[in-house]
Amino acid sequence: MKSRTCFSRSGEPLTEYQSESHARRGADYVREKWEKDMVPYPCDECGKWHLSPADRQTPSTYCHSCGKKLYETEEDAQRRAEIRREEGGVDLSVYKCPDNEGWHLTKGEF
Ligand SMILES: [Zn+2]
Ligand SMILES: [Zn+2]
C-alpha cells in the first residue's frame, strides 16, 4: 500500500505497512530484490509503518505512553528532526518525554 500522507525525499509516496511484522517482510523483500538495507519504523504522521534506509536511522525505541518514537538523547532527536525537515519540509521541535527517559519530536510549538 502506498501512503497518501507520507512521502520520501524524492516525492514518492512511501509504502505503508499495518504492523511491524508486515514491515519486516517488506524489508526482507527489498533486501533480496534491490540489495538495500531497510529498517522498519513506526510513523509519527500516519501511525503506520514505513521503511527507511538503514544508514538514515537514528537510534530510538518506542514510547508506549505517548505512542511515539523515543530518542535516547536530545542530539539523536535533533538529527532526526533535521532529516525530516530535509525529507518533507516538516518543522519539528524536540521535547522531553514526560513519562520516560528520552526525547520526542512534535510538530509546531510545544
Ligand atoms: Zn506515515
Ligand atoms: Zn513518551
DSSP 77-104: HHHHHHHHHHHH---EEEEE-SSSSSEE
Higher pLDDT, residue 109 or 16: 16
For the CA of 68, the nearest ligand: 2
Which pTM was predicted?
Answer: 0.53
Q: What is the pLDDT of residues 28-52, one digit of tens each?
A: 999 999 888 898 989 988 999 999 8
Coil, strand, or helix at residue 9? coil
DSSP 31-60: HHHH---EEEEE-TTTSSEEEEEGGG---E
Q: Where are the domains positioned within the chain?
A: 1-56, 58-110
For the CA of 65, the nearest ligand: 2
For the CA of 95, the nearest ligand: 2
Cβ neighbours for 53, distance < 8 A, ≥ 6 positions apart = 36, 37, 38, 39
* d(CA 7, ligand 1 centre) in Å: 8
* d(CA 88, ligand 1 centre) in Å: 11
